[in-house]
């Protein structure tokens, strides 16, 4: 009789067991870990680094040196990628944050987004090359899954640079607009600025990351959460890494003469909503990057490659036909020269015969 120790009998008739597949996927995913790449873009002094550190409770820039005004005049846009391994309750996340120091700081910002576009395309190209290679088992995904674009709270909407940047990048990356340093504005000013920004985004045809619609079978709490997140765009946030004591409990916030702005208080700013959006839709951001932005790049790249090959074949055909035509011309010239030489010899022989006949007479 076979030993069945460790196997439980199936009591429910018609039960196979593939309902357990999600648990297998979950265990495998947790073991492998997750990768996510976030890009932050905006002018200097808008609190990008502080917000990122606040979001992930880590210090991504421990040795950052901030340039002075004279250095900023000569500074060009450069990209700095910082990677950190975060573990929470056994789940590992390999987070890469790409910062863009120098963006929007120059007198002429017409080429501010050139380096950023190039970097995004480089990551797509690297992934395409790795995906087409022989060893595809351990491909590192450095593609930009989400871009936080920081908008200054001190204007009356979007600047021309904001519009141009988002129009250049909205077909390549998931853009999430963020109003920086929202503690500078009153609630009415924030609502007015949000409405103005969304109107300008729509009028300029800019496509920002669309939060996915809920399925009909989702629970009501989740539907309400997604509804609130959609209404909060663009997210008005402020960041802080300082722990302060408010009413007997420790909170992260900013201390002002008139009181404390609590970063994680939904009544003070949209920090919690932004973090909720990023965490709960992290998988969707990766899927949109893979299925929309990367596929667009891949199809364009392959189309250009095929066109390039066709042009190469055409050029080769033209070259070969040129060689053939040259050889044909060379053959004709040779025959013509031989005929001319033969004609000269015949003329010389005729001249000699005439000379002898005259001598005989």
pLDDT digits (tens, 9 = 90+) for 249-279: 888 878 888 878 888 888 888 888 988 888 8
The answer, yes or no, to whether residue 312 has pLDDT greater than 60, is: no
Least confident of 221-235, 278-292, 347-361: 347-361
Query: Per the structure block, which two tokens stand in for 81?
Result: 């990628």
Question: Cα-flanking dihedrals φ and ψ of residue 15, to 5°?
Answer: -95, 120
pLDDT digits (tens, 9 = 90+) for 52-75: 888 877 766 555 555 555 555 555
For residues 73 and 8, what is the distance between their CA atoms, to the nearest angstrom? 72
For residues 193 and 188, what is the distance between their CA atoms, to the nearest angstrom? 9
Least confident of 152-156, 165-169, 198-202: 152-156
Q: Per the confidence metrics, is the pTM higher than 0.85?
A: no
For residues 353 and 350, what is the distance between their CA atoms, to the nearest angstrom? 5
* Eight-class DSSP state of 182: G
The domains found in the chain, sorted by start residue, are 22-62+72-301 (3.40.50.300)
Higher pLDDT, 49 or 329: 49
The answer, yes or no, to whether residue 313 has pLDDT greater than 50, is: no
The answer, yes or no, to whether residue 171 has pLDDT greater than 50, is: yes
Question: What percent of the chain has a predicted confidence (pLDDT) above 90?
Answer: 17
Report the pLDDT value the prediction gives residue 178, as an integer from 0 to 100.
92
The answer, yes or no, to whether residue 350 has pLDDT greater than 80, is: no
pLDDT digits (tens, 9 = 90+) for 96-106: 888 888 777 66
Note whether 194 and 201 are within 8 A (CB).
no
The answer, yes or no, to whether residue 145 has pLDDT greater than 60, is: yes
Beta bridge mates, 151: 179
State the distance between the two ends of the chain, measured CA to CA, in whole angstroms.
136
Name residue, tokens 């990677």: 83
CA-closest candidate to residue 33, choices 93, 84, 89: 93
* Eight-class DSSP state of 233: P
Report the pLDDT value the prediction gives residue 323, as an integer from 0 to 100.
53
For residues 343 and 35, what is the distance between their CA atoms, to the nearest angstrom? 85
Residue 84, preceding bond cis, omega within 30 degrees?
no
Beta bridge mates, 244: 251
The answer, yes or no, to whether residue 140 has pLDDT greater than 50, is: yes
Contacts of 357 (CB under 8 A, 6+ apart): none
């Amino acid at each position: 009789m076979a030993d069945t120790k460790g196997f439980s009998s199936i009591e429910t008739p018609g039960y196979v067991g593939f309902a357990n597949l999600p648990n297998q996927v979950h265990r495998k995913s947790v073991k492998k870990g997750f990768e996510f790449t976030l890009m932050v873009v905006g002018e200097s002094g808008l609190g990008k680094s502080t917000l990122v550190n606040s979001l992930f409770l880590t210090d991504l820039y421990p040795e950052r040196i901030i340039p002075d005004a004279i250095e900023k005049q000569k500074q060009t846009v450069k990209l700095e990628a910082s990677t950190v391994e975060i573990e929470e309750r056994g789940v590992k996340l390999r987070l890469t944050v790409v910062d863009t120091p120098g963006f929007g700081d120059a007198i002429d910002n017409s080429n501010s987004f050139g380096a950023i576009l190039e970097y995004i395309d480089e990551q797509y190209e690297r992934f395409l090359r790795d995906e087409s290679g022989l060893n595809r088992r351990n491909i590192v995904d450095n593609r930009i899954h989400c871009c936080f674009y920081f908008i200054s709270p001190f204007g009356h909407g979007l600047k021309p640079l904001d519009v141009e940047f988002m129009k250049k990048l909205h077909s390549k990356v998931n853009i999430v607009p963020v109003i920086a340093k929202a503690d500078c504005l009153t609630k009415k000013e924030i609502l007015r600025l949000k409405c103005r920004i969304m109107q300008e985004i729509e009028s300029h045809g800019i496509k920002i990351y669309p939060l996915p619609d809920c399925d009909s079978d989702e629970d009501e709490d989740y539907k309400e959460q997604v509804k609130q997140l959609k209404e909060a765009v663009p997210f008005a946030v402020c960041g802080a890494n300082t722990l302060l004591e408010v009413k007997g409990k420790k909170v992260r916030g900013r201390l002002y003469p008139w009181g404390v702005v609590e970063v994680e208080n939904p009544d003070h700013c949209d920090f919690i909503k932004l973090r909720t959006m990023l965490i709960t839709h992290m998988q969707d951001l990766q899927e949109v990057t893979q299925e929309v932005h990367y596929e667009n790049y891949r199809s364009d790249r392959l189309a250009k490659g095929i066109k390039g090959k066709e042009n190469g074949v055409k050029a080769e055909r033209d070259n070969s036909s040129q060689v053939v035509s040259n050889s044909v011309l060379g053959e004709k010239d040779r025959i013509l020269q031989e005929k001319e030489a033969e004609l000269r010899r015949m003329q010389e022989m005729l001249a000699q015969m005439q000379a002898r006949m005259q001598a005989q007479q």
